[in-house]
Amino acid sequence: MQRYFTDEIYEKKSTYRINGEAYHHIIRVMRMQEGDQFYLVFANQVTIQAEITTINEHEVFVKELAKEKQEKELPLVVTVACGYPKGDKFDWIVQKATELGAAEFIGFPAKTSVVKWDQKKLAKKQQRLTKIAQEAAEQSQRSFLPEVTLLANEKDFLSLFSQFDYILVAYEESAKQGEAAALAELLQRIQPKSRVLAIFGPEGGFLPEEITSFEQNQALLCGLGPRILRAETAPLYVLSAISYHLELLNK
């Protein structure tokens, strides 16, 4: 069943109104009619099964049939932070990591990032990535729409660290040295709903001074197995490990 997100906070009503882009997709793309149903996701993560009651030139009106009960979100609130990678790799990361349950994305210029974006390009790229996240969230039946923030410098990125309960850095040198316990040990003791910042480097990885800066801000370095993963693969590995350990293994 199709799924749409709204910026509204859920309140019990007899009728809900939908317009704008969602209206266009419902009527022009999906060609829905009165009596058709879809899921409507509110900003406070309440999802209802909705049925179209009325359609006019600019709006669709729906009624609530039932609330969705299945939990769709990861037990942890995971923010994926990436040093800007080349080409369209960040597009891929946002799409796939949204499917795997990421709650937020932060992009920042690492010292080895080749990509250089000015403020105008950052704004345009952020708009594109937000759209990719929305489409992926709808496709994967999420009850939360991830946010995307693109930063112009690494200092602004470091200033965000205090917002998180745990900070992980996927570090190539840790993997080369055989470190294989940090992530697993953290998942053994972490509490549900904890806010986790998972940091990943661009193709050139992180320089030693960046790692020092991260560690000074209480970051935990971790290897991701004996194989060296690409910049766009590492975030998916971590999210998959979290899902397996906290959603599948604990069942």
Nearest to residue 97, comparing CAs of 233, 194, 205? 233
SS3 226: coil
Q: Where in the chain is the domain with CATH 2.40.240.20?
A: 3-67
pLDDT score of 176: 67
Mean pLDDT of all residues in 218-223: 93
| Range 207-218 burial, b when 16+ CB lie within 10 A, else e | eeebbebbeeee
Angle at 124 between CA 121 and CA 126, to 5 degrees: 105
Q: What is the pLDDT of residue 251?
A: 63
Architecture field, domain 3-67? Beta Barrel (2.40)
Q: Residue 178 pLDDT more than 90?
A: no
Segment 201-229 shows an average pLDDT of: 93
Q: What is the pLDDT of residue 10?
A: 95
pLDDT at residue 175, as a whole number: 64
- Residue 80 near residue 105 (C-beta atoms within 8 A): yes
Expressed in angstroms, the distance from the first to the final Cα of the chain is 26
**Cα–Cα distance between 178 and 174 in angstroms, integer?**
6
* CA proximity to 133, closest of 106, 152, 115, 157: 106
The predicted-structure confidence for 23-62, as pLDDT tens digits, reads as follows 999 999 999 999 999 999 999 999 999 999 999 989 999 9
d(CA 149, CA 106): 5
| pLDDT at 119 (0 to 100) | 86
What is residue 247's predicted lDDT score, i.e. its pLDDT?
A: 92
Predicted local confidence at residue 106, as pLDDT:
98
pLDDT digits (tens, 9 = 90+) for 65-118: 999 988 899 999 999 999 999 999 999 999 999 999 999 999 999 999 998 888
pLDDT tens profile 129-169: 999 999 999 999 999 999 999 999 989 999 999 999 999 99
According to the model, what pLDDT value does residue 159 have?
Answer: 94
Q: Does residue 208 register a pLDDT over 70?
A: yes
How large is the average pLDDT for residues 223-230?
88
pTM for this structure? 0.91
| Class of domain 77-249 as given by CATH | alpha beta
CA 20 to chain centre: 23
CATH 3.40.1280.10, the chain: domain bounds: 77-249
| pLDDT at position 226 | 86
Query: Which residues face 60 on adjacent strands?
Result: 18, 55
d(CA 117, CA 30): 36
